[in-house]
Structure 1
């Protein structure tokens, strides 16, 4: 369509619903933070990547830290939910261990590289960031602890220690696998980590006296 004067009209920017715009801004911010780290990232770069003006960006997020924390919340909640889902998806305890290991490997292997915001943040000294990173570990430990208590009848303190070992080994092995250049296939790496963890945790008896190593 042409204007009344005969000149072509300039297309107006697409006006997105607030939720869709927020999602778009978070996606752009994630790309910038992953590529440059928190300190080197600039709101100008994020706005440009999202294709919006800085005022639009500031309408949704008061500052760079708020953007970063929003991203952390999203990904921290996601990894906790994945581990909890692994615990609830089956009654086969070995498969539960495999699911927890896989959750960490999937997280570090995702093409978005969002794991860098959680595990490799250059803002770990900020109390708000540190609280969220610690919440990932504690949330995953809590999910596993509930299952261990339910299955074995161990005390909370004993179950939490076992859960922390499982979570720690899962996260560390996944990060090492990635950092070392994916030298072995992902499924094989998951299987090795699962076998190691299961040999330890599977020896604890279920309630009723049978071994946890069932199925």
Structure 2
């Protein structure tokens, strides 16, 4: 463990630079923490393991994060914000509602496919009963539902309560299907999986007329 002192701030004998800008160091620590949390789970992971994975001393790690929970929550915040932003982008990126549905589904599958570690960290956490963790997971669902709800209301004119229920169905289907697809080993090609779920969802939502049209 003596080698962990490398990266603590003073220049090591190797001459490797250790003083990174704070934002770059934080990003490095979060990446190392994600690897450890996904591999070991929150409860089994130790700050020593994370510091070693990042190549820094524990004091450097504690300069940025006062404890393991704060580090874990910072990771969740990063990924939770990212998936909500992807769904919002799908809603505002086109006025074609069929493409919006496809985009919302694709946001979840992209997250699972390209950020499978992050997906497991958010949706398969062994810390789901921790209030701060549960709040963040719920914030993802609420943020995605809100983005889709606003689009449904503006396009169909249904009540907010009805639109929220429809949006929750779409979000729930996308999340569950993406999670199943990952757990099953990606047996169905990603493009096919997205198309299947988008078609299923669209056939239901398309039955609601646009504003100004009769049912």
Whether TM-score is above 0.5 comes out as: yes
Q: CA deviation at 1:14?
A: 2.0
What is the match of residue 199 of structure 1?
203
Deviation readout 1:12-57 (Å, 9 max, x if unpaired): 6421011111111001001101111100111011001100000000
How many pairs were matched up?
Answer: 203
1:25 aligns with 2:29: yes
Distance 1:210 1:83, change over 3 A: farther
Structure 1's unaligned 5+ residue stretches are 1-8
Aligned 1:96-175 pairs, distance under 5 A: 96-111=100-115, 113-175=117-179
Larger gyration radius, structure 1 or structure 2? 1
Q: Deviations over 1:146-165 (max 9, x none)?
A: 00000011110000000001
Runs of 4 or more above 6 Å deviation: none
2:89 maps to 1:82? no
Q: 2 CA distance for matches of 1:199 and 1:170? A: 15
Q: Does residue 61 of structure 1 match 2:52?
A: no
Partners in 1 of 2:41 and 2:171 — Cα distance?
26
Q: Supply the distance in 2 between the matched residues of 1:41 and 1:179 (Cα, whole angstroms).
A: 23
1:85 deviates by 0.2
Alignment CA distance shift 1:208-1:31 (3 Å): same
Q: Is residue 11 of structure 1 aligned with residue 15 of structure 2?
A: yes
In 2: Cα distance, 1:83 partner to 1:111 partner: 15
Determine if the alignment matches structure 1 residue 37 to structure 2 residue 29.
Answer: no
SS in 1 for 2:18: coil
| Bigger mean CA deviation after superposition, 40-49 or 111-120 | 111-120
Q: Supply the RMSD in Å over aligned alpha carbons.
A: 1.2
Cα distance, 1:111–1:207 mapped onto 2, change above 3 Å: closer
User: C-alpha displacement at 1:185, in angstroms?
Assistant: 0.4
Q: C-alpha separation between the residues in 1 aligned to 2:110 and 2:56?
A: 32
Aligned partners of 2:214 and 2:20: how far apart in 1? 58
Corresponding position of 1:3: none
CA change 1:45–1:152 in 2 (3 A) is same
Q: CA–CA distance in 2 between the matches of 1:45 and 1:94?
A: 46
